[in-house]
Amino acid sequence: MRLLFLGDLVGRSGRNAVIDQLPSLVEENQIDFVVVNGENAAAGFGITEEILQDLLDAGADVVTTGNHAWDQRDTLVYIERQPQLLRPANYPPGSPGRGANLYRARNGANVVVANLMGRIYMDAMDDPFHAAEKLLEEFPLGHVADAIIIDMHAEATSEKQAMGHFCDGRASLVVGTHTHAPTADHQILVGGTGYMSDAGMCGDYDSVLGMEKEEPVQRFLRKIPSGRFTPALGEATICGVAVDTDDRTGLAVDISPVRIGGRLSQVLPPFWPAGKN
């Protein structure tokens, strides 16, 4: 099975790039399932139902979130009627929405997607490792699930790496989000799980984490806010990670970063048809 995960969409630049290009990426490369982290899609803070629907219409199968999940207050209501939008599974009991779900891929396979959030340098949350264990027991790879994708939304690389090893052999892909900078450590772990510490963002990299540069730079210089953070509007780079899995085991057999457009060096997976051109 061919999986694509795209990192945090930041503002109009990031979401327009994904909405415009995702349909052709899916068709030309026979991608079976797409996950997008959309928690910064609405002017950098949260996601509206309209933007969610635009991403789903463009070819995203699931949209994950993180610490900005509730920045758009309407999300607390509409997430209940949108099973393709996930919030972290280790939010406290009683939180609206879902933290994981079972979905049907384009090829008919069963795909489980789970959204987790780290605790180091983040808001106090329930234990993400306990939440992951429950999910992996409920949806065993190769039995209930043909593929399992885990979005580990976290600040600390150590916590992301620990989650990768914790899930190794039991998930198809563990990928980090939140820091907006793509890492160079994409790999298949010893047990067969694809791993990358951070998928990067889909946004304008002539920025500070996708935001116009002036305000964050001034805050570092003066320690005084002088305005709002606003998303940069230059050409976006679509960043993410692609994985091909073994149809028998659900484990990864190929993994590659994805970087398309904008300022960063361009990478298309060599196992995609477009990457062979």
Report the CATH number that the domain containing residue 240 is assigned in CATH: 3.60.21.10
Domain ranges, residue 175: 2-276
- pLDDT by position in tens, the chain (length 277): 999 999 999 999 999 999 999 999 999 999 999 999 999 999 999 999 999 999 999 999 999 999 999 999 999 999 999 999 999 999 999 999 999 999 999 999 999 999 999 999 999 899 999 999 999 999 999 999 999 999 999 999 999 999 999 999 999 999 999 999 999 999 999 999 999 999 999 999 999 999 999 999 999 999 999 889 999 999 999 999 999 999 999 999 999 999 999 999 999 999 999 887 6
The secondary structure of residue 161, as a DSSP letter, is H
The secondary structure of residue 265, as a DSSP letter, is P
CA angle 96, 64, 44 (to 5 degrees): 100
What global pTM score does this model have?
A: 0.97
Token pair of 277 as six digits? 């051109």
Burial of 165 (0-12, 13-18, 19+ CB in 10 A): middle
- Into how many domains does the chain fold? 1
Token pair of 53 as six digits? 């629907």
- The pairing of strands 2-6 and 33-37 is parallel
Give the number of other CB atoms < 10 A from CB of residue 151.
31
- Whether the CB-CB separation of 56 and 86 falls below 8 Å is answered with no
* Cα–Cα dist 21/15, whole Å: 10
Active site residues: 68
Token pair of 241 as six digits? 């990670």
* Cα–Cα dist 95/158, whole Å: 27
For residue 63, give the amino acid letter.
Answer: V
Tens of pLDDT, residue by residue over 82-138, are 999 999 999 999 999 999 999 999 999 999 999 999 999 999 899 999 999 999 999
